[in-house]
Structures are given as C-alpha cells and as structure tokens.
Amino acid sequence: MKICGLTTQDAVEAAIDAGATMIGFVFARVSPRYVAPEKAAALAELARGKVQIVGLFADQGAEEIHAIRDSVGLDIVQIHGRENRAERFELVRAFPDCMLAKGIWQESDLPGEGDPVPGSWIFDALPPDGYKRQGGHGTPFDWSALKAYRGETPFILAGGLTPANVADAIRACDMFPAFSGVDVSSGVERSRGVKDPKRIAAFVEAALAARAALRTP
C-alpha cells in the first residue's frame, strides 16, 4: 500500500503510523506535489527502515534519476511520464526493479508483448484530455478491464482511489493473481497537493480491513 506525493513531515509520519508499506516523493516539477530532492532526503530519513521509499519521475533521463535516487536514498524508482516506447525500454534497462505506470481506460490499454517488463506495473487512469501530467487527477477507471491482464508482472492499482472506494477496489481486484496493492495521492488530500493525515489514516484503515475480510474464512 503506497501513499504518494508526500511533501511534509506530518504526512510522512501519518503514512507510517497508519501502516502503509510504501511512501512516494514526486520529483516531476510539473506536479503540484513536487518536492525538492534536498527536502525529500530529510523526509526520507524519517521513514528509512520503516517503509519503502519511492521516487516518482516523469519525462526525466536516467542520469537525472540516478542522481536523485542516490542523493535521497530511494528504494524504488517509479516512471510515470509520457516517455515513448524506446525511452521506457531504456529506463527499464537502467532501473530493472522500477515501477512503471501504464494509463488504463479499457482492456486494449493493458501492457502486451511489445512493452518492457518492469519490476511492477502501476495501472493508473488515463489523464483527462488537456492534462500534461499523468497521475493525480482523482479519476478511477473501470477496474473490470483488468480481467484481461495475462502478464505475470505484479501490478499496483492507482487512479481515483479514496478512503470511500478503496475497499471496493480491493474487492474488485483481489481475484487477479498479479494484484499486489493500491496507490493513492490526490484521494487523501485536503486541497490540491496538501495531504490530510486523517484521510491517510482512513484510507489505510479501509484498505487493511478489506484485505483482512477477504482472507477471513
């Protein structure tokens, strides 16, 4: 379970205290959740050894990603931009354990044989027309499209998740063998780019309760 787009100590501590397994920092300047690497490095020290620390990058080269990864001490790199096919293959070669975002709206949008094979996929909703950034729009896609996914690479569900619908999302996706968790950003904010510790706690609580219920005989 990943809480992404964190920018403050309160938000980082809320995610850890609630029981999240991953936190994410956004290094794409176009995002309202952008955090400078120097600040992210200080926030990462609060989380190190408690959760996995993820850095989100969009349309940035491998050299820049390497530099930020090393300076912040990231555990995982997340590629979440509009990179073309060749650029994505290059980045997956450079970061074979990366999370690679894939915009989904219908079954035909799912990855196939011609796509790179990352460490894990993040299946996010395709952005509305006119948006320059890929994620953080607060709009879910039709989760039933995932029934056509035949890959073995695990996927994390993102896109429009909130404390109110995360349990439904988990129940809908738990039947898929490759489903490995959920990712939220805008759905736990009090205003654009500003996380709400109470919403973070509510999101994690609802997600954990849904997973526990599915595993109770």
User: What residues does each domain of the chain span?
Assistant: 2-214
* Residues carrying an active site annotation: 4, 124
User: What's the distance, Cα to Cα, between the start and end of the chain in Å?
Assistant: 23
Cβ burial, residue 108 (10 Å; 0-12/13-18/19+): exposed
Which pLDDT belongs to residue 132?
A: 47
Profile the chain (217 residues) by mean pLDDT over runs of 10 residues. 98 98 97 97 98 98 98 98 95 98 94 94 79 57 94 96 97 95 96 97 98 87
CA distances to 140, 149, 179, 184 from 168, in Å: 12, 19, 14, 14
Instruction: Tokens 């027309």: give the residue.
Output: 129
Q: Which residues, 6 or more positions from 123, have their beta carbon under 8 angstroms from its beta carbon? A: 101, 102, 104, 110, 141, 146, 155, 156, 157, 158, 159
| Topology (CATH level 3) of domain 2-214 | TIM Barrel (3.20.20)
Per the listing, tokens 């120097």 go with 38
Kindly report whether the global pTM for this prediction surpasses the value 0.85: yes
Quick check: 156 and 180 in contact, CB under 8 A? yes
